[in-house]
């Protein structure tokens, strides 16, 4: 049995709580939030035996039991210090995306993971989906062909949906829509490409907000492939897509997995993706994280992907602010 603490008991934490409840090897022994009443709500709804804490420092100083892991569902700019503190205390970390909001912090966490030999997993959705697992297997076997172009786009009513909340406060969010929902888009693209971006150009529009709302970018990967990205945050309907053009196939999916279409010349191919599940939590970051703690499978979104995202985001913002093409 692994003892977990859920840090941050806001809206997104409900999904984390529900997923953790499905894993028999997990016991949530502590809940932490600075907002009065938030932990009590989660205690009553999900974890009746969990201890409540109103500060992260108090939780780590006197946990109700030896903690094996913390799940961080907190504002973006808090992730770095909270992750590092836990790792240095010998506690595994599962952190919401983005892992951090600048590349210096990302590289430091990478070093901390190496030094402490603890786990840090990021809760992007796509890498845990069956569709992305299938594509990675086909990619690594060389059956997809040589990737030449990738296009990723997202439409969402993010501006109105987050108005007045911490996500539009740069001190807590570290960025806007590109670093929030856009993080899923960018990570999914890089995870499928399995190759770092080396050069980029970007424009963004704040649409009257303190943070970026709409953004467009072009990128070049180390292997020579090129990509285009459109992140929209002021369009009420939600939709997203990623299309990859190889010299053999056209592959269409999205930033969360859940759909997959492959087209070859003259025909469409809908690959059968095996549902290799043994319980209701399969296909989630949480089960992968627990299995990684057991040593039975590797993390699918380890600290490396946090580094890749932060390095790219630093370069995208620099490009938008300077009007220049930037090397990553």
The pLDDT tens digits for 128-161 are: 888 898 899 899 999 999 999 999 999 999 999 9
Is 296 contained in some domain?
no
Boundary (domain end) residue, out of 122, 149, 177: 122
Same domain, 158 and 81: no
Q: How many domains are contained in the chain?
A: 2
Quick one: 321 and 224 in the same domain?
yes
The answer to whether residues 12 and 116 belong to one domain is yes
Q: Whole-model pTM?
A: 0.92
206 and 321 together in one domain: yes
- Which CATH number covers residue 139? 3.30.360.10
Question: Is 293 a domain residue?
Answer: no
Could you tell me if residue 318 is inside a domain?
yes
Whether 274 has a pLDDT exceeding 90, the answer reads no
Alpha-helical (H) ranges within the chain are 13-21, 38-45, 56-61, 79-88, 103-116, 130-140, 158-161, 170-173, 181-193, 285-294, 303-322
H or E element at residue 63: none
Mean pLDDT for 33-61 is 97
In a shared domain, residues 210 and 315: yes
Using the predicted structure, report yes or no on whether residue 9 has a pLDDT greater than 80: yes
Q: Are residues 135 and 215 located together in one domain of the fold? A: yes
148 within domain boundaries: yes
Does residue 131 share a domain with residue 117? no
The two structure tokens encoding residue 98: 């983005």
CATH code where residue 49 lies: 3.40.50.720
Among 24-38, 171-185, 262-276, name the one with the lowest average pLDDT.
262-276
Question: In the chain, what is the straight-line distance between the N-terminal and C-terminal CA atoms, in Å?
Answer: 42
Domain end, chosen from 122, 141, 173, is at 122
Structure confidence at residue 272 as a pLDDT band (50, 70, 90): low
* Residue 216 is assigned to a structural domain of this protein: yes
Residue 76 domain flag: yes
Instruction: Give the confidence band of 13 by pLDDT, cuts at 50, 70, 90.
Output: very high
In a domain, 283, yes or no: no
The pLDDT confidence band at residue 257, using thresholds 50, 70 and 90, is confident
CA 183/CA 189 separation, integer angstroms = 10
What pLDDT is recorded for position 230? 99
Report CA torsion sign: 245, 258, 175, 209.
Answer: positive
Instruction: Name the domain boundary from 122, 143, 167.
Output: 122
Residues ≥6 apart with Cβ < 8 Å to 180: 76, 158, 162, 167, 173
Q: Does position 268 have pLDDT exceeding 90, yes or no?
A: no
Domain annotation covers residue 288: no
Q: Are 182 and 323 in the same domain?
A: yes
Residues 212 and 248 reside in one and the same domain: yes
The predicted structure's pLDDT at residue 161: 97
Q: Quick: pLDDT tens for 61-112.
A: 999 999 999 999 999 999 999 999 999 999 999 999 999 999 999 999 999 9
- pLDDT category of residue 205 using cuts at 50, 70 and 90: very high
User: Do 159 and 228 fall into the same domain?
Assistant: yes
Same domain as 154, residue 10: no
| DSSP character string of 25-50 | TEEEEEEE-SSTTHHHHHHHHT-TT-
At 251, list the tokens: 């592959």
Average pLDDT, the chain: 94
> What is the domain range of residue 269?
126-276+302-327
What integer pLDDT is reported at residue 265 of this predicted model?
87
Say whether both 82 and 130 belong to one domain.
no
Give the C-alpha separation, 310 to 179, whole Å: 9
């Amino acid at each position: 049995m692994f003892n977990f603490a859920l840090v941050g008991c806001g809206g997104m934490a409900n999904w984390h709580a529900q997923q953790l409840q499905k894993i028999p090897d997990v016991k949530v022994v502590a809940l932490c939030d600075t907002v009065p009443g938030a932990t009590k709500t989660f205690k009553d709804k999900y974890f009746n035996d969990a201890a409540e804490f109103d500060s992260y420092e108090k939780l780590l100083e006197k946990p109700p039991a030896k903690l094996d892991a913390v799940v961080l569902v907190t504002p973006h700019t808090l992730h770095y210090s909270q992750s590092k503190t836990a790792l240095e205390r010998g506690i595994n970390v599962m952190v919401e995306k983005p892992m951090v909001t600048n590349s210096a912090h990302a590289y430091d966490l990478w070093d901390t993971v190496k030094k402490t030999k603890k786990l840090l997993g990021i809760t992007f959705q796509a890498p845990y989906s069956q569709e992305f697992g299938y594509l990675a297997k086909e990619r690594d076997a060389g059956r997809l062909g040589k990737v030449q172009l990738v296009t990723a786009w997202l439409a969402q009513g993010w501006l109105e949906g987050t108005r007045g909340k911490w996500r539009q406060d740069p001190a807590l969010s570290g960025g806007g829509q590109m670093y929030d929902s856009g993080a899923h888009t960018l990570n999914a693209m890089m995870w499928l490409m399995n190759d770092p971006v080396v050069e980029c150009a970007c424009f963004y529009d704040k649409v009257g907000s303190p943070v970026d709302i709409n953004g467009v970018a072009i990128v070049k990967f180390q292997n020579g492939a090129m990509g285009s990205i459109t992140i929209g945050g002021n369009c009420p309907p939600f939709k997203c897509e990623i299309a990859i053009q190889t010299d053999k196939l056209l592959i269409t999916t999205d930033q969360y997995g859940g759909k997959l279409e492959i087209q070859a010349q003259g025909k469409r191919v809908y690959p059968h993706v095996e549902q290799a599940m043994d319980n209701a939590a399969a296909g989630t970051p949480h089960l992968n994280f627990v299995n990684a703690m057991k040593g039975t499978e590797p993390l699918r979104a380890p600290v490396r992907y946090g580094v890749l995202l932060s390095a790219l985001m630093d370069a995208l913002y620099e490009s938008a602010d300077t009007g220049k093409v930037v090397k990553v």
